[in-house]
Structure 1
Amino acid sequence: MHFFRGEFSVIKRLFKRSWATCNLAAQELIEAIVVPKEYNQNQIKGFRSNVFKQMNNLRLLDVNDKFTTDEPSFLPNNLRWITWNHYPFSSLPIPHKSKLVGLEMEYAKVQHLWKGTKIMPNLKFIHLENLDCLTRFPDVSEAPNIESLILSQCDNLVEVHESVGFLKRLVHLGMIHCMKLNRPPSRIKTESLETLKLINCPSLETIPEFSPCVVKLSSLDIYYCSKIEKLPSSIRYLSNLSFLNIRNCTSLEIIPSSICELKCLKSIRLFGCSKLQNWPDQFSSMINLQELKLGHTKCFNFLDLTSLCSLRKLDLSWNQIGEEDFPRNLDGCISLEKLRLSFNLKLVCLPASISYLSHLKQLELDGCRWIRSLHSLPPGIQVLSAANCTSLEKIEDLSKEYECLYKIWLFGCDKLLEDEQNQIYLDNMLKHSFMKKWAAVDRCSSIVIPGSKIPSWFKQQRNGHQISLKLQPKWQTKILGFAVCGVFKELTKFFPIHIVFRFENYEMIIPKLEADDEEIDASSTTENGSVWINYIPFTSFAQMHDDYYDFQREDWSHITEGDLVINVSTFGQKALRCGAHVVYKEDVESIQQSKPSFSSSY
């Protein structure tokens, strides 16, 4: 006998029946009890505490809240999986010798899972979340086959038993948002461990030491642990480590030199480690490193960075580095593709050595308030983001000089409008021909510049954030994509611009639009606004739908003609004026050009 999710009539009959008179043979046949989470718990008068006593074949128990009126007095030995969210009692009567495989609990009032040890050779998965009353995770030495242990948002958890560090088959270990945790296992001695997460544990002062046998660990997350002052030198034993995240460990002072022995390490994130005092002497030997994030981290050696020949992504944001501080020769960074120098208040002009980074695809200079000119960019640049560079007064003709540049964000750079030549260059970015160049190669493009006027080639434009387009019959076979334009009073990179497409009388949205239809008066547009143009290939629509609503492009196939309504907004504001333009295949047939060489990751 099974009670499966959705069988409400069976569940209701159970709660109306007295278990004292229920057929004992029928109870012994029960293998699974699943109460749907959406079932109204207020209608349930819970079972008695001995409800499971005769259910010797019960394998699965997935229930919520007060399934029993009092703490269960008994759980069957054959039980394989327990999911009991909002469990209202202080302990769980797991048998001393249990066949349990998995235990999941969220928002439970458990104070202790069990006392002493329990013999549980089959236990593999434990996931405990928001157990605010739990202060100590117990001894699991008699549960040697645990593979995944996640303790998340257990705010009063102070200690995790030493036995956790000796689980031979443990693969994933996570202690996440445990605000009072300060006694994790002192040592990790498990050969099978692959991921270790110690995230946002602000009371944690040390992390476990590692034994030489920990050779499979590939990912180590220790971010937002604000009291950790150093990493253990035993980190050298993590020979397979490829990802190390120490973001916002604001008290971190020491990184052991032994980190340089990790030849598999590809990504190091040290953003926000503002008290870091030392830099490993042999850091330049980490020739396999591909990503390095040093934002808000003052202690680093530029010469070491120039020797990292495999480095692809480098983040030096929030560091005050003048042009004179940059090495004159960056030839060693031959693989660098993304460079972030945002919020640097010492940068006045772009260091000349950056122009020789032949593989650089993305350059971010947002918030560099004193930079005055942008010129001599790397020849293969694809993305340039220099928003809110308030002193920027000189640029090149970016849309013509760099054939691969498809994303240019210059909003908040209002000084550019004071120079007549700059105005010509900005106008070139908004030309129909620049957009058609990317339409011809089926590539998204995005331009944001200071201004308040929509280009005249947008035949459909109006005040407000919403506009409609009349599509030709059999439009799906004729179009390449859509160009959408919006004028905004203020923009920020932290809140992306949303475009919402829907056919009239159809609920087809990409992505979700905030439900606010208040009309915006276009007269509020100012000269300090921003003009934004985005080109979206029709071929990308299927992916956009999949990402947001599991919506397939084929759902549009039956719409042969009609009005396509487009909404343009960002967080907290809507476009003051918007425009839209359909790009048909015939519009770009005359464009003769070779495809620019670009990377799909930017």
Structure 2
Amino acid sequence: MRVLNFDDAECVKAIPSLSSTPNLEELSFSNCESLTEIDESVGNLRKLKILNAFGCSKLRSFPPLKLPSIEELNFTSCSNLENFPKILEKMENLTKLELDCTAIKAIPDLFSAENLVELSFSYCVNLIEIDESVGFLIKLRLLNAFGCCKLRSFPSLLLPSLEELDLSWCSSLENFPEILDKMEKITRLRLQYTPIKELPNSIQNLTRLRDLEMVECGMLQLPSNITLLPELRHILFCRTPNQDEGEEKLSWMESSNSTLHASQCTISHGIFPNLFGWFSMYMEELDLFRVNFRFLPDCIMECLLLKELNLDQCHNLQSIRWLPPNLETLSVTCCRSLKDLDLTILPGSTKEYYNFRRLIVDNCENLQIIKGIPPEGLSATNCLSLPSSYISMLLNEELREVGRNIWRFVPGSGNCIPEWFHPCNNGNSSVSFWFRNKFPAISLCVFLGALGKHQIAFYFCPKLEINGNTVNKWLLENKKYWFVQEAEADHIFILHEKQMKYENSVNEALVRNKEWNHAKIFVDVYSPRGWTEIDMQIGIHVFKEKNSMKDVQFTNPYNNVTGESNSVDSTQQSGTSIVQVNLKRISHNYSRTF
């Protein structure tokens, strides 16, 4: 007999003598919950390769082991097993030892199992000691000590084959083990929920470490010696303050190959330049949410590949007077101290290589100066301190042609949309026009305002209908900027050609053998806060630069009767049409098309 299986045998209370089966290679009695006794002959099966005692919850002891052929040994969930069995002979073939969820108090000398590849003793809540031999298992690849809450120390490590080390939830472990020499195989290190306060300088011996997780550890700030790890690409650093520290010291930081996120992170002055110098070679996204500084650190200029920069809720940030050379998007929402923002081209840069495109400054209540206009997009919701002269410049007719790719969401000026959208208060619920050949390049303008002094929260979706066929919703080029805003004053949203995308092809809605096609633009407005009264105006502008005005009309070309419901005589030559709708109500569970 080579295989013997007692799995799930609830009535089995003892494993009898197996002396008559000397050739046994596999023995399994997992989930024998009534098992309390194992005959000593089990420890003398010299040809046994696999021994599985998983889930024998009443088993308190195991006979001494003399198993020279053993390859896998599993005592997982033997929750009353307090002592590892004595090893009487070398187990040179043992590659996998599982002791998870047992009651053992000490990991014994394992020099007799020097070829171990996997060693796991997670959730051993009574474990207080690990023999130093564990740190010298040269073939060990996986070492898992997750959840050993009473473990106070860990032996020094010289594990050249180790690939993964998990010390998470070792809630009494205050010191990280010394790394005695280079360990070039380990790529991931987990230290979540440990009181470890610092990493030793020998951490630099983990030369290939790529992932480092330090969630709710004892460190007050990101350790500076992580800059000694040349291949580190992902960091997760998060710490909740204790009762005495207060909310402002909550820290969270995460990085990836091209992204670095830091939330309310306490980063020491000395490490900041080193840290960013370390990331600057590859970083494309940088998130410094609620990081406490007054001015943008100069070292960020070294991030030559940086495309997106998030400084949201950096409440002490006062001024930004330069941008990294290849930055495309800047978000500085809710920066209540920000007063000055300079978007102009850096000295030595040229317009050809200036990549900045989008700016989001929502709820920067004290922002007074923005130098320059982002080429593609600006959102400035509730920036009520911006001077009217700057808002007027943003809405200036000169941008009608040269700035057709800019989307803008800014405080309203004069309770109406820009003058180059000539008003037409005819009471209709949509903007309507006719076109032939191809769909024209247009700009959409929406004025939304609260009736009364209360704030309004809303979002809206423009829709297009051609010849009675819906071409679904327009989509923003980047959905990240499709948002819900709570406005304290009237606001104007201008969406241009580049940001208008269609879920279905416009050509599919065109009618064959018909010269003119009828287009209607609707705007659906939604409120997440129930019934809200709003004042809305919508309008379009056709760009002459890309369209022949002979191919676009605002009156029905098949109808010679003047006064068509959507005709706007005063704006036909300018290619603009407006509809104004007042005193409408919107709801979170009901939307009305305006």
Query: How do 1:511-530 and structure 2 match up within 5 A?
Result: 525-526=531-532
One-letter amino acid matched to 1:111 = K
Q: Which residue of 2 aligns with 1:227?
A: 219
One-letter amino acid matched to 1:90 = E
Cα separation, 2, equivalents of 1:213 and 1:12: 46
Q: Which residue of 2 aligns with 1:59?
A: 49
What secondary structure, in the 3-state scheme, does the structure 2 residue paired with 1:173 have?
Answer: strand
Which of the residues 105, 108, 111 maps onto 2:105?
111
Q: Which residue of 2 aligns with 1:168?
A: 160
CA apart distance, 1:159: 1.0
CA apart distance, 1:182: 0.9
Change (3 A) 1:133 1:436: farther
Alignment of 1:379 onto 2:379: no
Cα separation, 1, equivalents of 2:525 and 2:122: 43
**Higher strand proportion:** 2
Please say if residues 245 and 268 of structure 1, whose CA atoms lie closer than 8 Å, have aligned partners that are also in contact: no
Cα separation, 2, equivalents of 1:451 and 1:199: 40
Q: Which residue of 2 aligns with 1:11?
A: 7
Q: Which residue of 2 aligns with 1:489?
A: 528
Please say if residues 117 and 142 of structure 1, whose CA atoms lie closer than 8 Å, have aligned partners that are also in contact: no
CA apart distance, 1:386: 7.9
Cα separation, 2, equivalents of 1:404 and 1:224: 43
Query: How do 1:396-475 and structure 2 match up within 5 A?
Result: 419-421=415-417, 424-425=446-447, 430-433=461-464, 436=471, 447-449=482-484
Question: What TM-score does the superposition give when structure 2 sets the normalisation length?
Answer: 0.57
Change (3 A) 1:213 1:153: closer
Cα separation, 2, equivalents of 1:339 and 1:374: 13
Q: Which moved more, 1:167-176 or 1:439-448?
A: 439-448
CA shift digits 1:140-166 (9 cap, x unpaired)? 14522112223323322221111x2x2
What secondary structure, in the 3-state scheme, does the structure 2 residue paired with 1:152 have?
Answer: coil
CA apart distance, 1:309: 0.9
Q: Which residue of 2 aligns with 1:122?
A: 115
Please say if residues 128 and 152 of structure 2, whose CA atoms lie closer than 8 Å, have aligned partners that are also in contact: yes
CA apart distance, 1:366: 6.6
What secondary structure, in the 3-state scheme, does the structure 2 residue paired with 1:432 have?
Answer: strand
Cα separation, 2, equivalents of 1:153 and 1:371: 49
CA apart distance, 1:580: 12
Q: Which residue of 2 aligns with 1:132?
A: 125
| % same residue | 15
Cα separation, 1, equivalents of 2:61 and 2:126: 16
Please say if residues 399 and 429 of structure 1, whose CA atoms lie closer than 8 Å, have aligned partners that are also in contact: no
Query: How do 1:261-340 and structure 2 match up within 5 A?
Result: 270-274=262-266, 276-279=268-271, 287-290=280-283, 291-298=285-292, 302-322=297-317, 325-327=319-321, 329-330=322-323, 332-334=324-326, 336-337=327-328, 339-340=330-331
Please say if residues 55 and 75 of structure 2, whose CA atoms lie closer than 8 Å, have aligned partners that are also in contact: no
Change (3 A) 1:446 1:337: closer
**RMSD over aligned Cα atoms:** 5.3
Change (3 A) 1:485 1:310: same
Cα separation, 1, equivalents of 2:471 and 2:400: 12
Please say if residues 244 and 269 of structure 1, whose CA atoms lie closer than 8 Å, have aligned partners that are also in contact: no
What secondary structure, in the 3-state scheme, does the structure 1 residue paired with 2:140 have?
Answer: coil
What secondary structure, in the 3-state scheme, does the structure 2 residue paired with 1:431 have?
Answer: strand
One-letter amino acid matched to 1:158 = R
Which of the residues 182, 196, 199 maps onto 1:207?
199
Cα separation, 1, equivalents of 2:525 and 2:28: 54
Change (3 A) 1:174 1:19: closer
One-letter amino acid matched to 1:344 = C
Q: Which residue of 2 aligns with 1:550?
A: none
Cα separation, 2, equivalents of 1:342 and 1:132: 46
Cα separation, 1, equivalents of 2:154 and 2:23: 37
Which of the residues 138, 141, 147 maps onto 1:147?
141
Q: Which residue of 1 aligns with 2:34?
A: 45
Change (3 A) 1:313 1:58: farther
CA apart distance, 1:31: 1.5
Q: Which residue of 1 aligns with 2:169?
A: 177
CA apart distance, 1:207: 0.6
Q: Which residue of 2 aligns with 1:71?
A: 61
What secondary structure, in the 3-state scheme, does the structure 2 residue paired with 1:314 have?
Answer: strand
Change (3 A) 1:88 1:359: farther
Cα separation, 1, equivalents of 2:27 and 2:363: 58
Alignment of 1:239 onto 2:246: no
Please say if residues 264 and 290 of structure 2, whose CA atoms lie closer than 8 Å, have aligned partners that are also in contact: yes
Please say if residues 75 and 99 of structure 2, whose CA atoms lie closer than 8 Å, have aligned partners that are also in contact: yes
Change (3 A) 1:431 1:275: closer
Cα separation, 1, equivalents of 2:161 and 2:10: 40
CA shift digits 1:268-295 (9 cap, x unpaired)? 5554332623356677755414044443
Change (3 A) 1:217 1:16: closer
Cα separation, 1, equivalents of 2:153 and 2:129: 5
Q: Which residue of 1 aligns with 2:548?
A: none
One-letter amino acid matched to 1:307 = E
Cα separation, 2, equivalents of 1:130 and 1:402: 61
One-letter amino acid matched to 1:45 = S
Question: What TM-score does the superposition give when structure 1 sets the normalisation length?
Answer: 0.56
Change (3 A) 1:441 1:12: same
What secondary structure, in the 3-state scheme, does the structure 1 residue paired with 2:76 have?
Answer: strand
Please say if residues 176 and 198 of structure 1, whose CA atoms lie closer than 8 Å, have aligned partners that are also in contact: yes
Change (3 A) 1:288 1:432: same
**Higher helix proportion:** 1
Cα separation, 2, equivalents of 1:231 and 1:149: 24
Please say if residues 52 and 74 of structure 2, whose CA atoms lie closer than 8 Å, have aligned partners that are also in contact: yes
Cα separation, 2, equivalents of 1:283 and 1:23: 62
Gaps of 5+ in 2: 246-255, 419-444, 449-457, 488-521, 535-586
CA apart distance, 1:346: 1.6
Q: Which residue of 1 aligns with 2:178?
A: 186
Gaps of 5+ in 1: 5-9, 36-40, 253-263, 453-482, 491-523, 529-574, 582-602
